[in-house]
Amino acid sequence: MSERNGPGASVSPLYEALDEAPVNSRHWLTVLTAGMGFFTDAYDLFIIGTVTAILTPIWHLSTGELSLLNSISLLAAVAGALLFGKLMDRLGRKAVYGIEIILLVLGAVASAFSPNFAVLFAFRILVGIGVGGDYATSAVITTEYANRKNRGKLVGTVFAMQGFGLLAGPAVAAILLGSGVSHALAWRLMLGLGAIPAASVIYLRRRIRETPRYTLAIDGDVATTAETVQWTTGKTPAVKGTATSSLRPLRAKLTDKTFLTRLIGTAGSWFLLDVAFYGNSVSSPLILKALQPKATLLDNILIAGAIFLVFALPGYWMSVWLMDKIGRKRIQWQGFLVMALAFAAIALIPGLAKNAWAFLILFGISYFFIEFGPNVTTFVYPGEVFPTNIRGLGDGISAGGGKTGAFLGALLVPTLLKTVHLSGVMGIMAGVSLIGVLLTLVALPEPMGQNLEAASSEEPSEELGLEPTQAAG
């Protein structure tokens, strides 16, 4: 009853209905519900660099304390990604979706009222757990609802909302500082405002339906799957037989050779990307201060915002546009390669690290190819290359690998700037990026154009007697 759909894959007609459906309002509702969390994730993770620059003279922070505040949410995100990834596979996607965003909102509000370093440190841990959970849940849910031809674009759009969060941070900081708000109040407002966009989608996340791929592949519930497919696609599958199928349970393991190789590729490349991305981005006030010691904090905030606007934001949307046209693998390896070349030029060309305009242009080019490159693809890849029964954990471990790299980058860059200076930091980032090129080429497949079951090497359990028919109206 089924037919070939993508290279070498035989799938259930229910899956076919999902795969071949045109993008519609239900897809975009899922993307919006997930994307608002990523706007907040980016805002909360990156605004801390400006906050600590303000707090350093107020609370007399040491370099170690500053580094810990800049990085602790990223380390906590590792735990959040692993926890929510595992729970998604065990309890279902719907059971946990929205809880991570509640943690994020609570952590952001509480952070704004912190009286000292220790309390702020603790609540930044809560923010990080929420962020890590959001990375795992949003990617998997959007992937499992997406159609075949536009899956990269839909999942990439969720992540591209990070770009607006990156812009919102410098914009909020510039408005507050430029309008004369005292530093003692400004940092609290910067942290607290991060709760607003996340709070706006709590209801939508808690009300979302269980994904049709989970209800079919894990629960074996044909009737519920058919209802969700109809809700998503506007087509009513005609179910033949009983409401619950006799699907054989999926038994894929992450320790299987195929999936272990993919896990090394997804988690490893995300780790390498985030060492460079978060190391440079969270510490951008310090990097720009090292470049221009006489510039004010507001000057450097505006420069960072301009880099994000001119270089990073277009890179996100270039990835979204081309994800399903040239593929994830090419975007990822060529992004890593240009990053390596840009960082190497800053490190090796004499005097370039001290020439503000030359540095900013190359730094900006690296940002464009971070986004039109591995920052978006490392988010898209894990949801596609692992079967349904281990997809949550595979994505969670991959995201956790990324946030481990982010933690190390944010933790070490402030110290490295003092020891090996700006050119040395860029040299390290060049080496990290070059390893990313090699790992992508060796360990990752190309899932573009394949249905999700083929991309994830998920064996179809049995043929189901289901026929998609056009719904009336």
Q: Tell me the pLDDT tens digit for each residue of 397-446.
A: 999 999 999 889 888 888 888 888 888 888 999 999 999 999 999 999 99
What whole-number distance in Å separates Cα of residue 82 and Cα of residue 85? 5
What whole-number distance in Å separates Cα of residue 327 and Cα of residue 330? 6
- Please state the rounded mean pLDDT for residues 435-463: 86
Q: Cβ(166)–Cβ(304) under 8 Å?
A: no
| Domain contains 276 | yes
What whole-number distance in Å separates Cα of residue 228 and Cα of residue 209? 7
Q: Cβ(78)–Cβ(98) under 8 Å?
A: no
Distances (CA, A) of 162 to 36, 45, 317, 376, 427: 9, 10, 11, 10, 26
What is the number of residues in the chain?
Answer: 473
| Domain contains 138 | yes
Among 54-58, 195-199, 246-250, 381-385, which range has the highest average pLDDT?
Answer: 381-385
What whole-number distance in Å separates Cα of residue 152 and Cα of residue 232? 18
| Domain contains 314 | yes
- Please state the rounded mean pLDDT for residues 245-264: 82
98 phi and psi angles, rounded to 5 deg: 110, -30
| Terminal Cα-to-Cα distance of the chain (whole angstroms) | 26
Within a 13 Å sphere around the CA of 56, how many CA atoms are in the beta-carbon half? 17
CATH number at residue 122: 1.20.1250.20
CB atoms within 10 A of CB 244: 12
What whole-number distance in Å separates Cα of residue 466 and Cα of residue 50? 55
466 phi and psi angles, rounded to 5 deg: -130, 135
| Domain contains 339 | yes
| Domain contains 473 | no
Residue 60 — pLDDT band, cuts 50, 70, 90?
very high
193 phi and psi angles, rounded to 5 deg: -65, -20
Joined together, the tokens standing for residue 278 give: 């978060």
pLDDT for 4 equals 37
Domain range for 297: 13-448
Q: Is the pLDDT of residue 347 over 80?
A: yes
Number of domains in the chain: 1
Distances (CA, A) of 95 to 140, 383, 399: 13, 18, 20
Residue 100's SS3 state is: helix
Q: Which residues contact 79 (CB under 8 A, 6 or more apart)?
A: 128, 129, 132, 400
DSSP character for 239?
A: E
Joined together, the tokens standing for residue 367 give: 């940002």
State if pTM tops 0.85.
yes
| Domain contains 376 | yes
| Domain contains 62 | yes
| Domain contains 8 | no
Q: Cβ(6)–Cβ(451) under 8 Å?
A: yes
Q: Which residues contact 402 (CB under 8 A, 6 or more apart)?
A: 135, 267, 270, 271, 273, 274, 378
Q: Is the pLDDT of residue 7 over 90?
A: no
CB atoms within 10 A of CB 228: 23
What whole-number distance in Å separates Cα of residue 277 and Cα of residue 259? 26
Joined together, the tokens standing for residue 267 give: 């988690």
- Please state the rounded mean pLDDT for residues 236-256: 65
Sign, CA dihedral 164-166-168-170, equals negative
